[in-house]
Chain A
């Protein structure tokens, strides 16, 4: 039985409510959540690395990464700070492409980033066309404040899992909480189950 808020009527925006997870509101802005300063890594020092429980780590410098087959996807994104943004368009490299030919027993992944940020995900959430390393947003280069030059994009989970400034994926056999996960945020973060914080 919900507690009604006396005098509150709310302001529904003109979107299909089935696209908005519980507790979220739709924004046209693009707010930012991050804990520390925005890193500015020069592109000639940038690379994307797959490491950990793999036979052979593999790494792509920026130019080689851009030359990989890319995909453009339009998805809804949901931040744990309550905003959702619908129909956002991103271009990047599918994780399936990066893992093509990689043999692993790993069940989990730690995404690690410039600036020291990490986040953890089950490997199965990153494959089968559900996750990308994105370097364009809305047809433009991804701005540093939003995670550029490249960020992880995992739209079916709360957006802190879509790590900004990502530099590598470490494949792991065990699950290690990342930055926000160690500060009490949910380990998995499904917005449709409102898994914001530990215990949700």
Chain B
């Protein structure tokens, strides 16, 4: 029996939320959405008047429990697609997408924990879907989130994370690699082995680990986690962007 294709469908922009100076969240109504798992992504397809098309993948920020589908898009100044999504789209516009895509970089509340989530910049997006899913299911799984950002202005979902970290087994750690906020006394350096040890959980607790961010960030974090003795099979990675280049 041939598998059913993942069909293209038309979403309608319900709302556009400003997250940071460089990132917005598109809140989409997707009629007939079949549901997704926290950590999955969608493919977006844009079509120009002459028929030219291009596609990109974006992580889903919303938990499966939400009625609307939320995508948080970081604007890449030299990008072809992200400036269109962040600058051009508004409520009522239509957007072609298909999904959900990906079945490896996912976490379901019933998978349990403990959980270690490590985000570089906008790599937070699929991990946020996990944090939100955890909350929606009233899970109290021991969850440690380590978020690396250049400056406080680059932190997605700042207020929501502060609120969610106030209870029930979720610890949020931040490190700022360029400009820590005034009076900051937390981590102010690139992710290193000592930081990962402090954030925990230790390898003896066999955490499920999810790391998402730019390729050099993810490579480095994964190597450090392996070096600390974490099980390589428990380390799930999602990389984006080029291998070289600048990385905070």
Instruction: Mark A residues whose CB is within 8 Å of B.
Output: 2-12, 22-25, 27, 29-38, 81-82, 115-116, 143, 145-146, 179-180, 183-184, 196-200
Contacts and interface: CB of A to CB of B under 8 A. Distances in A.
Interface stretch (B93-101, B169-177, B199-207): B93-101
A5 B245 contact: no
A184 B36 CA distance: 13
Contacts of B45: 23
Given A34-B237, A37-B237, A9 B48 contact: yes
A199 B54 CA distance: 20
A8 B236 contact: no
22 contacts: A5-B47, A6-B88, A7-B84, A7-B88, A8-B84, A22-B53, A29-B241, A30-B242, A31-B240, A35-B104, A35-B237, A36-B236, A36-B237, A82-B55, A180-B104, A197-B5, A197-B6, A197-B101, A198-B5, A198-B6, A200-B5, A200-B6
A9 B81 CA distance: 10
Given A35-B105, A35-B236, A29 B3 contact: no
B189 interface: no
Interface string B25-69: 000000000000000000101111101111111000000000000
Interface of B: 2-6, 10, 43, 45-49, 51-57, 80, 84, 88, 93-96, 101-105, 215, 219, 222-223, 225-226, 232-233, 235-237, 239-245
Contact of B46 (A5, A32, A197, A200): A5
B102 A146 contact: no
Contacts of A25: 54-56, 80
A183 B235 CA distance: 17
A89 to B, nearest CB: 17
Given A37-B232, A145-B243, A82 B84 contact: no
Find the residue from B52, B54, B215 having the highest chain A CB count within 10 A: B54
Contact of B243 (A23, A30, A115, A199): A30
B186 to A, nearest CB: 26
B177 to A, nearest CB: 21
Given A35-B236, A37-B225, A23 B53 contact: yes
B47 A32 contact: no
A183 B80 contact: no
A8 B51 CA distance: 11
B96 A32 contact: no
Contact of A29 (B5, B93, B94, B242): B242
A23 B5 CA distance: 16
Contacts of B237: 34-37
A2 B51 contact: yes
Given A10-B52, A38-B219, A146-B243, A82 B232 contact: no
Contacts of A10: 46, 48, 52-54, 80
